[in-house]
């Protein structure tokens, strides 16, 4: 069916109208839009774009004009009216350049096509007619499939990314002329096809390993527990103790990304232009390291036109907040709700956007402003009041949401120079995967997948303590002044420790180890 439609006005003049389909992003979700182009209008001083376009979309008409002319086509003498529907949704970015240019050429009868009804079209145009990559193509391809389109036409640099979506014909083009030729004769281009299994095989390797870390066996144990149960962790120690090295290697012992997890994370990165050009998927878990000067919107997302922040970019991965106590307190308080819910909702006057944010928080800080409180190697220069003010930047409610608190001591010379073999990430991951399988069997196919995500009702069901464990936990609650949330955290951690040891029931030694990871509560 041709998409050149002809109508007649009151004076019998022919009205030429072209309709195509494109996609805009709302958050990280694609929304199918109709691009209508009328090149028969007269009485306008210049061509217009309507339908709630942003500045980048409004400017596209000038890029389109040059691209059409420099591609060897004659730009119509009549001014064009471009309508982007639905008109109540904000249209952002340059991805409408290509469909607008094709619509102008169609409505001016420069070419015709019988397959437009089957395809969604996106792409930015250079002035010489080249097609440039755009952000969010994975979300756009997903929206095209869900809307029932047979395929999508994208810039050649985005073709591999779009080809991740099953049962969708993907064609990558590098110029306006090639797009016109393909729509006129679909046989001239080959469909882009990728091998997802091969991508994961090649790109799922990490450049770091736990064998790089000398000593710190107690911290490695705590990180293993965090990876097994999905627990958040805070490391406190002097500068140079290895906190950053340890945090960067946590991702190497987490379970490999599943395809669904990879697609969700890739969508987020693609929507903000952080996906490497030509790369189809993220095959390793992301590790984000925002600086302590980062603003609240930079962490949680936002802006006039809301964009995902660092918490969402860490989705299914690690959010590493180094110099934790140096972050402004109001910024740290913003992450409390995402830690509980796994999502972030950004509300503005005209729109509300929800982003996923399921991650393991790894925080690291010094024990005092100078960094050497409690050190046996260097004398601390801080007064007790200075130390108290420094640590009070981390609020009690936020500390409640961090499951594991662990001291990271300075590494001794003998440990640094030791030639003994260190356990590698593959061996640790094997234990993590075995314990994760126990959790998967426990929770079935429900929303809960790890011990850290258990509700209070699930804690009561799955964290049954013996009499010795009950007594030990009661004493810790009284001595440390722990909250009800901290009580549940201890139960969850002890359940994870039991899973790692292969124990069916929680033993008193599991409770004792879990309590040892909450000892910093009494200091804050």
Q: Is 475 left (phi over 0), alpha (psi -120 to 50) or beta?
A: alpha
pLDDT higher than 80, residue 517: yes
C-alpha torsion sign, points 332, 337, 340, 341: negative
Q: Which of 28-42, 224-238, 324-338, 392-406 has the largest mean confidence?
A: 224-238
- Residue 523 has a pLDDT of 47
Q: Are 270 and 303 in contact (CB under 8 A)?
A: no
Helix (H, G, I), strand (E, B), or coil: what is residue 308? coil
∠ Cα 376 382 384 (to 5°): 100
pTM, two decimals, is 0.89
Q: What is the pLDDT of residues 455-488, one digit of tens each?
A: 999 999 999 998 898 999 999 888 888 888 889 9
Of the chain, the percentage scoring pLDDT greater than 90 comes to 60
Residue of higher predicted confidence among 163 and 411: 163
CA-based nearest residue to 142, from 54, 270, 19: 270
Q: Is 316 left (phi over 0), alpha (psi -120 to 50) or beta?
A: left
Q: What is the pLDDT of residues 142-187, one digit of tens each?
A: 999 999 999 999 999 999 999 999 999 999 999 999 999 999 999 8
Q: What is the pLDDT of residues 355-386, one digit of tens each?
A: 999 999 999 999 899 988 877 778 888 998 99
Of the chain, the percentage scoring pLDDT greater than 70 comes to 95
- The mean pLDDT value for 381-404 works out to 88
- Residue 157 has a pLDDT of 94
Cα separation, 245 vs 423, in Å, equals: 15
Please state the domain extents for the chain: 4-188, 203-367+397-443
Buried b / exposed e over 494-505, threshold 16 CB at 10 Å, is: bbbbbbbeeeee
Q: Are 426 and 387 in contact (CB under 8 A)?
A: no
Q: Which CATH architecture has domain 4-188?
A: 2-Layer Sandwich (3.30)
Third-level CATH fold of 203-367+397-443: Rossmann fold (3.40.50)
Name residue 84's beta-bridge partners.
35
CA-based nearest residue to 350, from 312, 301, 305: 305
Q: What is the pLDDT of residues 315-360, one digit of tens each?
A: 999 999 999 999 999 999 999 989 988 999 887 766 788 899 999 9
């Amino acid at each position: 069916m041709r998409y050149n439609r002809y109508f007649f006005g009151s004076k019998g003049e022919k009205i030429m109208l072209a309709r195509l389909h494109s996609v805009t992003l709302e958050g990280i979700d694609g929304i199918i839009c109709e691009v209508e182009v009328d090149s028969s209008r007269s009485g306008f001083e210049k061509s217009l774009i309507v339908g709630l376009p942003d500045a980048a979309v409004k400017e596209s008409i000038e890029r389109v004009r040059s691209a059409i002319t420099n591609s060897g086509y004659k730009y119509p003498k009549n001014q064009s009216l471009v309508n982007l529907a639905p008109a109540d949704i904000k249209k952002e970015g340059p991805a409408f350049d290509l469909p607008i240019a094709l619509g102008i050429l169609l409505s001016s009868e420069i070419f015709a096509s019988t397959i437009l009804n089957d395809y969604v079209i996106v792409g930015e145009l250079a002035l010489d007619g080249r097609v440039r990559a755009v952000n969010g193509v994975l979300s756009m391809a997903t929206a095209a499939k869900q809307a029932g389109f047979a395929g999508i036409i994208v810039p050649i640099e985005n073709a591999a990314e779009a080809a991740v979506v099953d049962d969708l014909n993907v064609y990558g083009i590098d110029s306006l002329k090639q797009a016109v030729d393909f729509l006129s004769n679909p046989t001239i281009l080959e469909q882009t096809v990728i091998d997802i299994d091969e991508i994961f095989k090649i790109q799922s390797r990490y450049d770091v390993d736990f064998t790089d870390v000398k000593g710190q066996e107690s911290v490695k144990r705590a990180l293993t527990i965090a990876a097994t149960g999905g627990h958040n962790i805070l490391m406190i120690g002097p500068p140079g103790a290895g906190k950053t090295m340890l945090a960067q290697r946590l991702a190497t012992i987490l379970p490999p990304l599943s395809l669904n997890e990879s697609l969700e994370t890739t969508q987020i990165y693609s929507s903000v232009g952080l996906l490497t050009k030509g790369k189809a998927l993220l095959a390793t878990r992301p590790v984000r390291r925002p600086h302590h000067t980062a603003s609240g919107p930079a962490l949680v997302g936002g802006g006039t036109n809301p964009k995902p922040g660092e918490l969402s970019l860490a989705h299914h991965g690690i959010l590493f907040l180094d110099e934790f106590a140096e972050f402004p307190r109001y910024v740290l308080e913003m992450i409390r709700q995402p830690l509980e819910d796994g999502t972030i909702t950004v509300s503005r006057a005209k729109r509300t956007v929800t982003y996923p944010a399921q991650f393991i928080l790894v925080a690291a800080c010094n024990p005092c402003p100078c960094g050497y409180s409690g050190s046996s190697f260097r004398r601390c220069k801080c007064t007790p009041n200075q130390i108290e003010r420094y640590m009070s930047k981390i609020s009690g409610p936020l500390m409640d949401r961090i499951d594991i608190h662990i001291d990271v001591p300075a590494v001794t010379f003998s440990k640094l120079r030791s030639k003994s073999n260190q356990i590698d990430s593959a061996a640790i991951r094997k234990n993590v995967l075995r314990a994760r399988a126990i959790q998967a069997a426990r929770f079935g196919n429900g929303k809960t997948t790890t011990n850290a995500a258990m509700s209070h009702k699930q804690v009561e069901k799955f964290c049954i303590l013996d009499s010795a464990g009950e007594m030990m936990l009661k004493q810790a609650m009284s001595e440390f002044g722990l909250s009800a949330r901290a009580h549940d955290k201890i139960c969850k951690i002890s359940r994870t420790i039991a899973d790692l040891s292969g124990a069916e029931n929680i033993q008193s030694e599991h409770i004792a180890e879990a309590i040892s990871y909450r000892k910093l509560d009494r200091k804050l």
